Amino acid sequence: MGGAVSAGEDNDDLIDNLKEAQYIRTEKVEQAFRAIDRGDYYLDGYRDSAYKDLAWKHGNIHLSAPCIYSEVMEALKLQPGLSFLNLGSGTGYLSTMVGLIIGPFGVNHGVELHKDVVEYAREKLDDFIKNSDSFDKFEFCEPVFVVGNCLEISTDSHQYDRIYCGAGVQKDHENYMKVLLKIGGILVMPIEDQLTQITRTGQCTWESKNILAVSFAPLVQQSRADGEKPDAVQLPPVTVRSLQDLSRIYIRRTLRNLANEDSQGKGMVQRVPQKRKRRRCRRRRINTYVFVGNQLIPQMVESEEEEHAEEEHKEVEEEEERDIGDIEILKQVNVLRDQIMALPLPESLKAYLLYYREK
Protein backbone atom coordinates (compact mmCIF):
# COMPACT_ATOMS: atom_id res chain seq x y z
CA MET A 1 0.00 0.00 0.00
CA GLY A 2 1.38 3.43 -0.90
CA GLY A 3 2.84 5.15 -3.91
CA ALA A 4 0.46 8.09 -3.67
CA VAL A 5 3.22 10.71 -3.62
CA SER A 6 6.65 11.05 -5.20
CA ALA A 7 9.70 9.55 -3.53
CA GLY A 8 11.87 11.91 -1.53
CA GLU A 9 15.64 12.27 -1.45
CA ASP A 10 15.58 12.44 2.35
CA ASN A 11 13.08 12.70 5.20
CA ASP A 12 12.39 16.43 4.75
CA ASP A 13 11.83 15.95 1.03
CA LEU A 14 9.35 13.16 1.71
CA ILE A 15 7.46 15.39 4.15
CA ASP A 16 7.36 18.19 1.55
CA ASN A 17 5.72 15.76 -0.86
CA LEU A 18 3.19 14.58 1.72
CA LYS A 19 2.28 18.21 2.48
CA GLU A 20 1.90 19.03 -1.18
CA ALA A 21 -0.46 16.07 -1.64
CA GLN A 22 -2.46 17.20 1.42
CA TYR A 23 -1.77 14.07 3.46
CA ILE A 24 -0.08 16.24 6.10
CA ARG A 25 -2.34 19.19 6.85
CA THR A 26 -1.45 20.52 10.31
CA GLU A 27 1.73 22.07 11.67
CA LYS A 28 2.03 19.81 14.71
CA VAL A 29 1.84 16.67 12.56
CA GLU A 30 4.39 18.13 10.15
CA GLN A 31 6.79 18.93 13.01
CA ALA A 32 6.49 15.40 14.39
CA PHE A 33 7.21 13.84 10.98
CA ARG A 34 10.24 16.07 10.44
CA ALA A 35 11.60 15.32 13.92
CA ILE A 36 11.62 11.53 13.42
CA ASP A 37 13.66 10.34 10.45
CA ARG A 38 11.80 7.42 8.87
CA GLY A 39 15.10 6.02 7.61
CA ASP A 40 16.28 5.43 11.18
CA TYR A 41 13.65 2.68 11.51
CA TYR A 42 14.92 0.68 8.54
CA LEU A 43 17.48 -2.10 8.79
CA ASP A 44 20.96 -1.37 7.45
CA GLY A 45 21.01 -1.99 3.72
CA TYR A 46 17.36 -1.05 3.20
CA ARG A 47 17.48 2.67 3.99
CA ASP A 48 17.43 3.62 0.29
CA SER A 49 13.75 2.68 0.27
CA ALA A 50 12.87 4.68 3.39
CA TYR A 51 11.71 7.83 1.61
CA LYS A 52 9.45 6.18 -0.92
CA ASP A 53 5.73 6.25 -0.23
CA LEU A 54 5.63 2.49 0.13
CA ALA A 55 5.14 -0.02 2.93
CA TRP A 56 8.22 -2.02 3.96
CA LYS A 57 8.47 -5.45 5.58
CA HIS A 58 11.40 -7.62 6.61
CA GLY A 59 10.60 -10.66 8.70
CA ASN A 60 8.30 -9.49 11.47
CA ILE A 61 9.41 -5.85 11.12
CA HIS A 62 6.91 -3.73 9.20
CA LEU A 63 6.32 -0.07 8.39
CA SER A 64 3.19 1.21 6.66
CA ALA A 65 3.45 3.68 3.79
CA PRO A 66 4.08 7.33 4.79
CA CYS A 67 0.74 8.44 3.33
CA ILE A 68 -1.04 5.99 5.65
CA TYR A 69 0.81 7.22 8.75
CA SER A 70 0.06 10.80 7.72
CA GLU A 71 -3.67 10.14 7.51
CA VAL A 72 -3.59 8.29 10.85
CA MET A 73 -1.77 11.11 12.64
CA GLU A 74 -4.20 13.70 11.28
CA ALA A 75 -7.27 11.58 12.04
CA LEU A 76 -6.21 11.01 15.68
CA LYS A 77 -6.44 14.77 16.38
CA LEU A 78 -3.73 14.55 19.04
CA GLN A 79 -3.39 17.06 21.85
CA PRO A 80 -0.99 17.41 24.81
CA GLY A 81 -1.90 15.28 27.82
CA LEU A 82 -3.97 12.63 26.00
CA SER A 83 -3.61 8.89 26.52
CA PHE A 84 -2.73 6.80 23.44
CA LEU A 85 -2.79 3.07 22.76
CA ASN A 86 -1.10 1.61 19.68
CA LEU A 87 -2.37 -1.89 18.87
CA GLY A 88 0.28 -3.57 16.75
CA SER A 89 2.90 -0.98 17.66
CA GLY A 90 5.63 -2.50 15.47
CA THR A 91 8.87 -0.54 15.22
CA GLY A 92 7.58 2.26 17.46
CA TYR A 93 7.89 4.84 14.67
CA LEU A 94 4.29 6.05 14.97
CA SER A 95 4.29 5.87 18.79
CA THR A 96 7.42 8.03 18.95
CA MET A 97 5.84 10.70 16.73
CA VAL A 98 2.71 10.61 18.89
CA GLY A 99 4.87 11.08 21.99
CA LEU A 100 6.19 14.38 20.62
CA ILE A 101 2.66 15.78 20.44
CA ILE A 102 0.99 14.44 23.59
CA GLY A 103 3.98 15.50 25.71
CA PRO A 104 5.24 14.40 29.14
CA PHE A 105 1.82 14.40 30.81
CA GLY A 106 0.27 12.04 28.29
CA VAL A 107 0.17 8.24 28.28
CA ASN A 108 1.80 6.32 25.43
CA HIS A 109 1.35 2.53 25.35
CA GLY A 110 1.89 -0.05 22.64
CA VAL A 111 1.04 -3.75 22.28
CA GLU A 112 2.98 -5.85 19.78
CA LEU A 113 2.61 -9.58 19.05
CA HIS A 114 6.26 -10.35 18.25
CA LYS A 115 8.91 -10.18 20.98
CA ASP A 116 11.74 -9.50 18.51
CA VAL A 117 9.84 -6.48 17.15
CA VAL A 118 9.30 -5.09 20.66
CA GLU A 119 13.04 -5.39 21.29
CA TYR A 120 13.70 -3.62 17.98
CA ALA A 121 11.28 -0.82 18.93
CA ARG A 122 12.95 -0.37 22.30
CA GLU A 123 16.37 -0.13 20.64
CA LYS A 124 15.11 2.52 18.22
CA LEU A 125 13.48 4.48 21.06
CA ASP A 126 16.70 4.38 23.09
CA ASP A 127 18.67 5.57 20.06
CA PHE A 128 16.24 8.47 19.54
CA ILE A 129 16.47 9.61 23.16
CA LYS A 130 20.27 9.35 23.30
CA ASN A 131 21.26 10.65 19.88
CA SER A 132 18.57 12.78 18.20
CA ASP A 133 18.67 16.58 18.54
CA SER A 134 14.89 16.49 18.05
CA PHE A 135 14.56 15.05 21.54
CA ASP A 136 15.71 18.36 23.05
CA LYS A 137 13.32 20.40 20.89
CA PHE A 138 10.16 18.73 22.21
CA GLU A 139 8.61 17.64 25.47
CA PHE A 140 8.27 13.91 25.04
CA CYS A 141 5.99 11.13 26.27
CA GLU A 142 8.13 8.02 26.09
CA PRO A 143 6.28 5.00 24.66
CA VAL A 144 6.04 1.83 26.74
CA PHE A 145 5.77 -1.38 24.72
CA VAL A 146 4.52 -4.80 25.88
CA VAL A 147 4.47 -8.17 24.12
CA GLY A 148 1.08 -9.73 23.55
CA ASN A 149 -1.89 -10.29 21.28
CA CYS A 150 -4.04 -7.16 21.18
CA LEU A 151 -7.16 -9.37 20.94
CA GLU A 152 -6.38 -10.77 24.39
CA ILE A 153 -6.21 -7.54 26.43
CA SER A 154 -7.37 -7.93 30.02
CA THR A 155 -11.02 -6.98 30.49
CA ASP A 156 -10.21 -4.74 33.46
CA SER A 157 -7.78 -2.57 31.48
CA HIS A 158 -8.11 1.20 31.56
CA GLN A 159 -9.51 3.14 28.60
CA TYR A 160 -7.71 5.58 26.31
CA ASP A 161 -8.37 8.93 24.62
CA ARG A 162 -6.83 7.82 21.34
CA ILE A 163 -6.32 4.36 19.86
CA TYR A 164 -4.77 3.16 16.60
CA CYS A 165 -4.80 -0.41 15.33
CA GLY A 166 -2.18 -1.16 12.70
CA ALA A 167 -3.73 -4.37 11.35
CA GLY A 168 -6.97 -5.21 9.58
CA VAL A 169 -9.88 -5.55 12.01
CA GLN A 170 -12.65 -7.99 11.26
CA LYS A 171 -16.20 -6.77 11.76
CA ASP A 172 -16.80 -9.08 14.73
CA HIS A 173 -13.86 -7.46 16.59
CA GLU A 174 -15.09 -3.90 16.08
CA ASN A 175 -16.95 -3.65 19.40
CA TYR A 176 -13.97 -5.16 21.23
CA MET A 177 -11.86 -2.23 20.01
CA LYS A 178 -14.53 0.34 20.81
CA VAL A 179 -14.82 -0.54 24.50
CA LEU A 180 -11.15 0.37 25.01
CA LEU A 181 -12.02 3.95 24.10
CA LYS A 182 -13.05 6.70 26.50
CA ILE A 183 -16.17 8.76 25.82
CA GLY A 184 -15.09 11.59 23.52
CA GLY A 185 -12.13 9.52 22.33
CA ILE A 186 -11.06 8.65 18.78
CA LEU A 187 -10.22 5.21 17.38
CA VAL A 188 -8.53 4.87 13.98
CA MET A 189 -8.34 1.41 12.43
CA PRO A 190 -8.61 -0.39 9.08
CA ILE A 191 -11.90 -2.26 8.83
CA GLU A 192 -13.42 -3.76 5.68
CA ASP A 193 -10.66 -2.24 3.50
CA GLN A 194 -11.31 1.28 4.79
CA LEU A 195 -9.16 3.27 7.17
CA THR A 196 -11.89 4.42 9.53
CA GLN A 197 -12.11 7.10 12.21
CA ILE A 198 -14.53 6.23 15.04
CA THR A 199 -15.48 8.79 17.70
CA ARG A 200 -17.15 7.62 20.89
CA THR A 201 -19.94 10.14 21.50
CA GLY A 202 -21.60 8.41 24.48
CA GLN A 203 -21.68 5.28 26.58
CA CYS A 204 -23.18 3.27 23.72
CA THR A 205 -22.96 5.65 20.75
CA TRP A 206 -20.28 6.16 18.12
CA GLU A 207 -19.78 8.13 14.92
CA SER A 208 -17.79 6.63 12.05
CA LYS A 209 -16.05 8.23 9.08
CA ASN A 210 -14.18 6.51 6.26
CA ILE A 211 -10.85 8.14 5.55
CA LEU A 212 -9.04 6.15 2.87
CA ALA A 213 -9.24 2.86 0.96
CA VAL A 214 -6.49 0.60 2.31
CA SER A 215 -5.31 -3.01 2.38
CA PHE A 216 -3.89 -4.28 5.69
CA ALA A 217 -2.88 -7.75 6.86
CA PRO A 218 -5.52 -8.98 9.34
CA LEU A 219 -5.07 -9.19 13.10
CA VAL A 220 -3.57 -12.51 14.16
CA GLN A 221 -5.76 -14.68 16.35
CA GLN A 222 -3.89 -17.12 18.54
CA SER A 223 -4.72 -20.76 17.96
CA ARG A 224 -5.27 -22.79 21.12
CA ALA A 225 -6.65 -26.13 22.19
CA ASP A 226 -10.33 -26.45 23.06
CA GLY A 227 -11.01 -25.10 26.52
CA GLU A 228 -7.55 -23.60 26.91
CA LYS A 229 -7.72 -20.15 28.48
CA PRO A 230 -5.51 -17.56 26.76
CA ASP A 231 -3.03 -15.47 28.71
CA ALA A 232 -4.53 -12.00 29.14
CA VAL A 233 -2.34 -9.10 28.06
CA GLN A 234 -1.71 -6.70 30.93
CA LEU A 235 -1.35 -3.15 29.67
CA PRO A 236 1.31 -0.96 31.34
CA PRO A 237 0.09 0.86 34.46
CA VAL A 238 -0.66 4.58 34.34
CA THR A 239 1.79 6.03 36.86
CA VAL A 240 2.25 9.45 38.43
CA ARG A 241 5.57 11.13 37.68
CA SER A 242 7.98 11.56 40.56
CA LEU A 243 8.85 15.00 41.92
CA GLN A 244 12.37 14.50 40.58
CA ASP A 245 11.08 13.80 37.08
CA LEU A 246 8.65 16.74 37.22
CA SER A 247 11.53 19.05 38.23
CA ARG A 248 13.54 17.91 35.21
CA ILE A 249 10.60 18.54 32.87
CA TYR A 250 10.00 22.08 34.14
CA ILE A 251 13.69 23.04 34.27
CA ARG A 252 14.13 21.95 30.65
CA ARG A 253 10.92 23.75 29.66
CA THR A 254 12.04 26.99 31.30
CA LEU A 255 15.49 26.87 29.68
CA ARG A 256 13.98 26.06 26.28
CA ASN A 257 11.53 28.98 26.53
CA LEU A 258 14.31 31.37 27.60
CA ALA A 259 16.44 30.28 24.67
CA ASN A 260 13.55 30.81 22.25
CA GLU A 261 12.81 34.27 23.66
CA ASP A 262 16.48 35.22 23.49
CA SER A 263 16.84 34.14 19.86
CA GLN A 264 13.64 35.98 18.86
CA GLY A 265 14.71 39.12 20.71
CA LYS A 266 18.03 39.19 18.89
CA GLY A 267 16.41 38.43 15.56
CA MET A 268 18.62 35.39 15.13
CA VAL A 269 17.77 33.12 12.23
CA GLN A 270 19.71 29.92 11.86
CA ARG A 271 20.87 29.33 8.31
CA VAL A 272 20.77 25.78 7.08
CA PRO A 273 22.37 24.18 4.03
CA GLN A 274 20.37 24.82 0.88
CA LYS A 275 19.80 21.61 -1.00
CA ARG A 276 20.17 21.40 -4.75
CA LYS A 277 16.74 21.50 -6.29
CA ARG A 278 15.65 18.58 -8.40
CA ARG A 279 12.82 17.85 -10.75
CA ARG A 280 9.87 16.57 -8.78
CA CYS A 281 6.85 14.82 -10.16
CA ARG A 282 3.84 16.88 -9.11
CA ARG A 283 0.80 14.69 -8.72
CA ARG A 284 -2.67 15.25 -7.50
CA ARG A 285 -4.02 13.32 -4.56
CA ILE A 286 -5.00 9.76 -5.42
CA ASN A 287 -8.56 8.55 -5.05
CA THR A 288 -8.41 5.61 -7.49
CA TYR A 289 -6.99 2.19 -6.53
CA VAL A 290 -6.54 -1.11 -8.35
CA PHE A 291 -5.69 -4.62 -7.15
CA VAL A 292 -2.33 -6.05 -8.23
CA GLY A 293 -2.12 -9.59 -6.89
CA ASN A 294 -3.32 -9.25 -3.31
CA GLN A 295 -2.20 -5.65 -2.87
CA LEU A 296 -4.29 -2.49 -3.24
CA ILE A 297 -2.20 0.01 -5.23
CA PRO A 298 -3.00 3.65 -6.09
CA GLN A 299 -3.48 4.23 -9.83
CA MET A 300 -2.00 7.49 -11.12
CA VAL A 301 -3.60 9.29 -14.05
CA GLU A 302 -2.06 12.52 -15.33
CA SER A 303 -3.69 14.93 -17.73
CA GLU A 304 -2.04 16.87 -20.56
CA GLU A 305 -2.40 20.03 -18.48
CA GLU A 306 -0.45 18.42 -15.65
CA GLU A 307 2.31 17.32 -18.04
CA HIS A 308 2.53 20.87 -19.46
CA ALA A 309 2.66 22.34 -15.95
CA GLU A 310 5.42 19.87 -15.05
CA GLU A 311 7.56 21.00 -18.01
CA GLU A 312 7.13 24.65 -17.00
CA HIS A 313 8.04 23.79 -13.40
CA LYS A 314 11.17 21.98 -14.61
CA GLU A 315 12.32 25.08 -16.51
CA VAL A 316 11.82 27.25 -13.41
CA GLU A 317 13.78 24.83 -11.21
CA GLU A 318 16.65 24.65 -13.71
CA GLU A 319 16.82 28.45 -13.66
CA GLU A 320 16.84 28.48 -9.86
CA GLU A 321 19.71 25.98 -9.80
CA ARG A 322 21.83 28.33 -11.92
CA ASP A 323 21.11 31.18 -9.51
CA ILE A 324 22.21 29.33 -6.35
CA GLY A 325 25.50 30.73 -5.13
CA ASP A 326 27.62 30.27 -2.07
CA ILE A 327 25.74 30.99 1.15
CA GLU A 328 26.91 31.32 4.71
CA ILE A 329 26.01 28.24 6.71
CA LEU A 330 26.07 28.43 10.48
CA LYS A 331 26.76 25.29 12.47
CA GLN A 332 23.60 23.99 14.05
CA VAL A 333 23.88 23.87 17.82
CA ASN A 334 21.82 22.29 20.56
CA VAL A 335 20.97 25.40 22.58
CA LEU A 336 19.22 23.54 25.38
CA ARG A 337 22.23 21.31 25.95
CA ASP A 338 24.59 24.30 26.01
CA GLN A 339 22.40 26.05 28.58
CA ILE A 340 22.27 23.00 30.85
CA MET A 341 26.02 22.49 30.65
CA ALA A 342 26.54 26.16 31.65
CA LEU A 343 24.49 25.81 34.85
CA PRO A 344 26.45 25.89 38.17
CA LEU A 345 25.37 22.35 39.05
CA PRO A 346 27.14 19.06 39.81
CA GLU A 347 27.98 17.03 36.72
CA SER A 348 25.71 14.21 37.87
CA LEU A 349 22.71 16.56 37.99
CA LYS A 350 23.55 18.00 34.56
CA ALA A 351 23.65 14.45 33.18
CA TYR A 352 20.22 13.77 34.68
CA LEU A 353 18.78 16.94 33.13
CA LEU A 354 20.21 15.80 29.78
CA TYR A 355 18.67 12.32 30.14
CA TYR A 356 22.27 11.08 30.12
CA ARG A 357 22.62 12.01 26.47
CA GLU A 358 26.24 12.14 25.36
CA LYS A 359 25.76 14.65 22.55
What does 40-98 look like in DSSP terms, one character per residue?
GGSPTT-GGGTTSSB-EEETTEEE--HHHHHHHHHHHT--TT-EEEEET-TTSHHHHHH
Under 8 Å between Cβ of 164 and 188: yes
- Give tens-digit pLDDT for 187-215: 999 999 999 999 999 999 999 999 999 98
Q: Rounded CA gap, 129 and 132, in Å?
A: 6
Q: What are phi and psi of 14, to 5 degrees?
A: -60, -45
Mean per-residue pLDDT over the chain, rounded = 85
- Percentage of the chain beyond pLDDT 70 is 78
| Ramachandran category for residue 356: left, alpha or beta (phi over 0 → left; psi -120 to 50 → alpha) | left
pLDDT given for residue 279 in this prediction: 47
Predicted confidence band of residue 5 (pLDDT cuts 50, 70, 90): confident
| Mean pLDDT of the 152-170 span | 93
Give SS3 for 357.
Answer: coil
Q: Rounded CA gap, 214 and 249, in Å?
A: 39
pLDDT given for residue 313 in this prediction: 56
Query: CA 334 from chain center: how many Å?
Result: 23
Instruction: Choose the catalytic residue: 64, 70, 89, 95.
Output: 64
- Give tens-digit pLDDT for 98-117: 999 999 999 999 999 999 99
| Mean pLDDT of the 269-293 span | 48
Greater model confidence, 272 or 72: 72
- Give tens-digit pLDDT for 246-262: 999 999 999 999 988 87
pLDDT given for residue 49 in this prediction: 92
The DSSP symbol for 155 reads T
Q: Rounded CA gap, 23 and 5, in Å?
A: 9
pLDDT given for residue 291 in this prediction: 45
Give SS3 for 315.
Answer: helix
Residues for the chain: how many in total? 359
| Mean pLDDT of the 328-352 span | 83
pLDDT above 60 for 268: no
Greater model confidence, 24 or 359: 24
Exposed (0-12), middle (13-18) or buried (19+): which is 85, by Cβ within 10 Å? buried
Annotation marks residue 64 as catalytic: yes
pLDDT above 80 for 18: yes
Predicted confidence band of residue 227 (pLDDT cuts 50, 70, 90): low
The DSSP symbol for 2 reads B
pLDDT given for residue 273 in this prediction: 45
pLDDT given for residue 7 in this prediction: 82
Which has the minimum average pLDDT: 21-35, 129-143, 184-198, 265-279?
265-279
| Mean pLDDT of the 50-62 span | 95
Predicted confidence band of residue 1 (pLDDT cuts 50, 70, 90): low
pLDDT given for residue 330 in this prediction: 44
pLDDT given for residue 231 in this prediction: 81
| Start-to-end Cα distance in the chain | 37
Q: Rounded CA gap, 28 and 224, in Å?
A: 44
